[in-house]
Amino acid sequence: MENTDYLKIIQKYIPPHTYAYYIYIIHVTLVTEKALEIARRLKLSLDQQRFIEEASMLHDIGVIRVNAKEIGCFGELPYILHIVEGRKILEKEGLPLHAKIAENHISVGGLSKEEIIKEKMPLPQRDMLCETIEEKIISYADLFYSKNPDKLWQRKTIPQIREKAKHYGKRQEKLFEKWYKEFED
């Protein structure tokens, strides 16, 4: 497996020395650290760990195209579309497996077609669900950290994440509990 220079890709889309870059790098580094901690605990292969490192560092690349002024992003799209935009960017970079994670990392384990339709989300009407162990680990690790500038360095507690998972729905609540047992025990 050839290594991906994820910093080069990040800097291609998010200019260094910008507020967006500052927020982005801190968030993805913390998510990556948590994801790798889990990967090592599960004794995943070195190739799997390297992929998790790369994909974790790139999972939110699409934020640069959305309107989220509080994190320094001045695009025109709604925030939810960072997942689709991230997929487009990473596919353009020749990284289809990384792209899938950019699209399915949100909520707890991604979104189903039915959830997208029911909630009238401005997303393509298709399943965007985590399938591989790497996808699941990154989605789980992302739950622990926010891009909110006031909470950037704060790791959320399990009770805080449980409450958020409950807000997402029954599927997500059950999935979080399953992952918690699998990834933390």
Q: Confirm whether 1 is domain-assigned.
A: no
Indicate the average pLDDT of the chain: 96
Interatomic CA distance for residues 117 and 106, integer angstroms: 16
Q: Confirm whether 154 is domain-assigned.
A: yes
List the chain pLDDT tens, one digit each, 185 residues: 689 999 999 999 999 999 999 999 999 999 999 999 999 999 999 999 999 999 999 999 999 999 999 999 999 999 999 999 999 999 999 999 999 999 999 999 999 999 999 999 999 999 999 999 999 999 999 999 999 999 999 999 999 999 999 989 999 999 999 999 999 97
State the DSSP code for 53. Answer: H
* Domain CATH for 51: 1.10.3210
Q: Confirm whether 173 is domain-assigned.
A: yes
Reported residue count of the chain is 185
Domain span at residue 104 reads 6-184
Q: Confirm whether 164 is domain-assigned.
A: yes
What is the number of structural domains in the chain?
1
Show the tokens assigned to 18: 């910008």
Give me the torsion for CA of 132, 153, 86, 33, rounded to 10°. -40
**Exposure class string for 122-156: b at 16+ Cβ within 10 A, else e:** ebeeeebbbeebbbbbbbbbbbbbbbeeeeeeeee
